Chains A and B, each alone.
Chain A
Amino acid sequence: MIRFLITGLVRDRARSLFPAVTVIAGVMLTVFLQTYLKGINSNVSDAAAAFSTGHVKVTSRAAAREGDQPSNELALSGIGPLIGQLRHQFPDLIWTPRIRFAGLLDIPDDKGQTRAQAPIFGFGVNLVAADSPDRQIMHLERALVRGRLPAGRGEILVSDELATHLGVGPGGTATLISSTMFGSMATSNFIIAGTVNFGVRAMDRGAMIADIADIQMALDMADAAGEILGLFRDSVYHRDTAESVANAFNGRSAKIGDEFSPTMMTMHGQPGVTELIDYIEIVSSAAIAIFTIIMSIVLWNAGLIGGLRRYGEIGLRLAFGEDKGRLYRAMLVESLAIGLFGSILGTVLALIPAYWMQVKGLDMGYLFANSSLMVNSVIRTQITPATFFVGFVPGVLATVTGAAIAGVGIYKRQTATLMKELEA
């Protein structure tokens, strides 16, 4: 019977074309919006986790009180044993020490005098080691624009925009002018190995990335780091697990009264991050829900209209003696077939641009020109398991519900009056 009904739908385009096109368009919009909003959501949290917050972060208690950009005077000391303890106690996370610093990058001329100078925002990361997790976490290979990744000590990466501004390229010498952990002026010479572009506006304006061992030496921070980031191996932030890891660590490690003892914060526990991520998550979830409801109403109406358009046909079929229940079921099966067909095709058609945008991204750099947020200015969609199902809510449920409500009229029609209705 189903094959018979579907054949009928295919042959009679007046019955199937308009409802199917409506469903396809609605599902496409719903699916693409879901991937877009998910992409924005993970864009914020992934960039923040990679460059700033980790999924969990260990700092000194004094630095945690200070906020987002504490002075290196408040750095953690004795990080070697501490990282060993973290890796042993919480092997499900990747632990990597970081030093963030600010300063000037000074480019010398032939006589060693300043030729160009610009303010920078720097990262000391695990850069040179063969098993460096930071190369992957920060997507350094992908971000490389010119030159190569540092292969040895004393080599750095700088943002391509900064290098262009300073008139220097791979192989050039640069002097970092910054402050030591104790506040003294620190100067250190580096060779620029390559230039990078992260697509994160705050980084691309003036970032410098060096190996943490070089920065420890330059800033007088032997066996010290500003923070130790912990990231889940699957790159996904598991809030409940992160909270239990932080609670377990803080229960054992915090020493009362020692402002330099380590403390762990989850991504949500860090100043400014909680509000931003929660806000984006709530807004994007609400947007998906509202849009899905609106599309459901549209497709439900389409289902209703589809049923009403066939008023005369149904009347004729009833007049010929077709059973009401059989007719009602046939209408439901037809709407289910259109809904399934439209949902599958709509999802597939939405996945094509969504996948393209997930891989290529859309550069919205002009929107973030002066932003200091760790947000990737290349907006990407994100295809998740939910992407494959979200379109079926308006596509199938709403369409079938619309047809079901429209079909209720079948039972209300009296066989005795059918001929009069048809004559009219």
Chain B
Amino acid sequence: MKPVLVLMVCLAACAAGATAQTQPPSGESILKKIDENQASGNRITVYEMTIHGRRGSRTMKAKAWVQGVDRAFTEYLEPPREAGTKMLKLRDQLWTYSPSTDRTIQIAGHMLRQSVMGSDMSYEDLMEDPKLQNLYVATTTGEESVSGRSCWVLELKARPGVDPSYHSRKLWVDKDRFLPLKEERYATSGKLLKTTDIKSVRQIQHRWVAERAVFRDALKNDGGTEFVVTDVEFDAKIPDHVFSQASLRK
């Protein structure tokens, strides 16, 4: 009887181990790792944004200074018509400066739903807290392959008492890099509003960064907006005066 008993115990142990191996990590733990990978103290990013509209494509170049989750300053560098346009985000307030009118205007109310420079991204998207854990409760619903990478599929629902711009999201998160490679954003009604597809990634200072991404407004009949990050500097030193209204007019 003893060899049979030992065999049964071994089989049970193996089965338990196998179950433990296939058990996916919790949604909350994946979300925490995504936030750890994406969030940084300070960063300076230079990016190109190509908007594929119905009348053709336009490319803009911008430089963004970001401090934590509350402060961001963006200056458009190209093309000439947009050059010098600046945006400042301080907590839940957003201002834009136009050199042609020499006016600083606060973007508020329904204007937050407007497109940023004609792209598929809205000012509301810019204003949202980048830490997903603060906004959503996550559930791991499965695993799928995206662009040849094995991914966890996460479903995010708005946390009770929190009112994010999108009621729910679906994320395909790279299992090793904890970077979302694909994302869908939904309204409360369940209507698909926005999609993001990461086309290429790059490792910079031990972080995985989306190098080329296509952001698409599902309600628009166009080719989406392509973001290409040309330069990123994490934990950069940024003087405090950058995040002031005075710097908009400089």
Contact = CB atoms under 8 A, between A and B. Distances in A.
B51 interface: yes
Interface in B92-117: 96, 98, 100-106, 110-111, 114-117
Interface string A154-187: 0000000000000000000001010111111101
B229 to A, nearest CB: 21
Contacts of A204: none
Interface in A109-130: 112-114, 119
Given A177-B111, A184-B117, A112 B54 contact: no
A179 to B, nearest CB: 7
Contacts of B106: 114
Contacts of A175: 101, 103, 105
Interface string A72-85: 01100000000000
Contact of B103 (A106, A183, A220): A106
B103 A182 contact: no
A104 interface: yes
A189 interface: yes
A184 B82 contact: yes
A202 interface: no
A220 B58 CA distance: 13
Contact of B51 (A62, A114, A179, A183): A183
Given A104-B111, A177-B111, A112 B102 contact: yes
A70 B96 CA distance: 26
B54 A185 contact: no
B53 A187 contact: no
Interface string A49-77: 00000000000001000000000011000
Contacts of A181: 55
B107 to A, nearest CB: 9
B119 interface: yes
A185 B96 contact: yes
A175 B55 CA distance: 27
A336 B117 CA distance: 76
B118 interface: yes
Contacts of B114: 179, 185
B117 A187 contact: no
Most buried by A among B110, B114, B118: B118
A260 interface: yes
Interface in A92-144: 104, 106, 108, 112-114, 119
A108 B103 contact: yes
Nearest to A187: B98
Nearest to A111: B104
A73 B53 contact: yes
Contact of B58 (A182, A187, A260): A182
Nearest to B54: A73
Nearest to A177: B105
A188 interface: yes
A65 to B, nearest CB: 11
Contact of B55 (A73, A106, A177, A188): A73
B118 A180 contact: yes
Nearest to B82: A184
Contacts of A73: 53-55
A187 B117 CA distance: 12
B105 A114 contact: yes
A183 B101 contact: no
A187 B103 contact: yes
B109 to A, nearest CB: 9
A179 B104 contact: no
Contact of A183 (B98, B102, B110, B118): B118
Contacts of A184: 81-82, 117-118
Contact of A179 (B98, B101, B105, B118): B118
Given A73-B53, A220-B81, A179 B115 contact: yes
A185 B117 contact: yes
A183 B53 contact: yes
Given A179-B115, A185-B114, A112 B98 contact: no
A189 B102 CA distance: 9
A183 B115 contact: yes
A73 B54 CA distance: 8
Interface in B21-58: 51, 53-55, 58
Contacts of A185: 85, 96, 98, 114, 116-117
A188 B100 CA distance: 7
Contacts of B51: 182-183
Contacts of B105: 106, 114, 175, 177, 187
Interface of A: 62, 73-74, 104, 106, 108, 112-114, 119, 175, 177, 179-185, 187-189, 220, 259-260
22 contacts: A62-B54, A104-B111, A106-B103, A112-B103, A113-B104, A114-B105, A119-B110, A175-B105, A179-B114, A180-B118, A181-B55, A182-B118, A183-B115, A183-B117, A183-B118, A184-B82, A185-B85, A185-B98, A185-B116, A187-B101, A188-B100, A260-B55
The 4 A-B residue pairs with the shortest CB-CB distance in the complex, in nearest-first order: A183-B118, A187-B98, A184-B118, A184-B117
Given A185-B98, A187-B98, A220-B81, 13 more contacts: A62-B54, A74-B54, A112-B103, A114-B106, A119-B110, A177-B105, A179-B114, A179-B118, A184-B82, A185-B85, A185-B96, A185-B116, A189-B101
Interface of B: 51, 53-55, 58, 81-82, 85, 96, 98, 100-106, 110-111, 114-119
